[in-house]
Amino acid sequence: MDPLHTQHGLPESEAAAEAQRLIDDWASRPVRHHPTSFRDPIAPPAFGTTPPVKQEDHRIVPAWAAGIAVASIGVGAGITGVGCGAWLVLHGLASVTLNSVLMVTLPIAALAMVVTAIGGAISKARTAVTANVYEGPVTQHTEIHNTTSTRGTFFARTRNTIR
């Protein structure tokens, strides 16, 4: 059964006449125009209760609020990057073997050894030669007078005075 070519009980001439009647009936009706706006011609009273007036909503975001929003987006993106970096480092550390540790630390240890050797050579080369020549007798005179006083028992405070 083909639904496109079946007349559903009407002969083709009657079906065409019914279709034409429906189209003519639809075309004879007036077109309804629906207004998209309405303006009330009556002016509101100068005093007393007046009808509400629609207020346009023009919100302006303060500069500090926009700055905080942008900063929070930046911090969120930065923290996401730090988290991804931490994940990569920890993922790498989770698969640590002795060979990988040696391959990473041996060049660093070799570099540290070379730097230490160069530093030692420079230190020995820069050793100062002191030649202090004293012409007269040297006398060293030291006097120490120590006075100790302790106050209190539990939270004791000891004062040492050296003159």
Q: What is the pLDDT of residue 92?
A: 78
pLDDT, tens digit, 9 for 90 and up, residues 2-55: 556 554 677 888 889 999 999 999 888 888 777 777 788 888 777 777 777 888
Cα dihedral sign for 102, 105, 108, 114?
Answer: negative
Residue 163 — pLDDT band, cuts 50, 70, 90? low
Q: Which residues contact 51 (CB under 8 A, 6 or more apart)?
A: 44
For 136, which DSSP code? S
Phi, psi for residue 161 in degrees, rounded to 5:
-115, 120
Of residues 124 and 19, more confidence is placed in: 19
Of residues 120 and 133, more confidence is placed in: 120
Residue 111 — pLDDT band, cuts 50, 70, 90? very high
Q: What is the pLDDT of residue 79?
A: 92
Q: What is the pLDDT of residue 48?
A: 76
Of residues 94 and 73, more confidence is placed in: 73
Distance, in Å, from the CA atom of 159 to the CA atom of 148, rounded to the nearest integer, reads 6
pLDDT, tens digit, 9 for 90 and up, residues 45-89: 777 777 778 888 777 888 888 889 999 999 999 899 898 888 888
- Joined together, the tokens standing for residue 155 give 């939270």
Do the Cβ atoms of 146 and 162 come closer than 8 Å? yes
Do the Cβ atoms of 145 and 160 come closer than 8 Å? no
Residue type, 163: R
pTM, to two decimals: 0.25
Assess whether pLDDT exceeds 90 at residue 114. Answer: yes
The highest-confidence range among 54-68, 89-103, 126-140, by mean pLDDT, is: 54-68
